[in-house]
A and B are shown apart, each in its own frame.
Chain A
Amino acid sequence: MQFGRVIGTLVATRKADGLEGVKFLIVQLLDKHRHPVGDPVVAADGTAQAGPGELVFVIASREAALALPEAFVPVDHAIVGIVDEVDVG
């Protein structure tokens, strides 16, 4: 999992089966000091509670879909937690 900052939202009416009710957010992935790395990604919200501006952590690859209500869906990034506090030396 990596840190990410939610920078926006995305709405799609037509999408793959199984993704009904899943919220999509635009997430900028971050390094451990919370500086941006790479291009932003579209991530499904596995917590259903994240919103713009929040610091979250994101799981990538096959495991992303497992964070959603329907586990066999075409998703490669999912938000799995909202960060309260980080202590990194």
Chain B
Amino acid sequence: MYIGRVSGTVVATIKNELYQGRKLLVVDRLNLQGKPTGRYDIAVDMVQAGTGELVLVLDEGNSARQIVGREPNGAIRAVIVGIIDQVDIPGATFETYRARRTPAASGAADD
């Protein structure tokens, strides 16, 4: 699994039937300093994540198929399996979505 940041959404009408009714999100892979690595995945969302959120991404097919209940077959690999509340690694800053939104953290008082 890796720590990622949701950076966008993908809409597709024609797609594998496994993704029907499921949300596809673009997730940037972060390094252990909390910075984007430049790599990304289009992942299937299982936890109602949204743009800007810090998430836990599973990138392994067998586990992904277990989660969607489609063993042994199903063309699925990257799945968002959690929304991260806190990461504690000395020297790293993983800003959660909530922290970004609070006026104290952002310096904005208008929302």
Contact = CB atoms under 8 A, between A and B. Distances in A.
B contact face: mostly helix, strand, loop, or mixed: strand
Nearest to A64: B75
Given A32-B26, A89-B7, A1 B12 contact: no
B18 to A, nearest CB: 8
Nearest to A1: B42
Contact of A57 (B7, B9, B10, B38): B10
A86 B40 contact: no
Given A46-B75, A89-B7, A89-B51, A31 B40 contact: yes
Interface in B1-51: 7-16, 19, 24, 26, 28, 38, 40-43, 51
A1 B7 contact: no
A65 B8 CA distance: 27
Which has the most chain A C-beta neighbours within 10 Å: B7, B8, B12, B61? B12
Given A1-B77, A71-B73, A80-B19, A63 B61 contact: yes
A85 interface: yes
A32 to B, nearest CB: 5
20 contacts: A1-B77, A31-B38, A32-B28, A47-B14, A47-B16, A57-B24, A59-B76, A63-B76, A66-B75, A66-B76, A78-B75, A80-B16, A81-B19, A83-B10, A86-B11, A86-B26, A87-B8, A87-B51, A88-B7, A88-B9
Report the 9 A-B pairs with minimum CB-CB distance, sorted nearest first: A88-B8, A81-B15, A67-B75, A1-B42, A85-B11, A81-B12, A66-B75, A80-B16, A82-B14
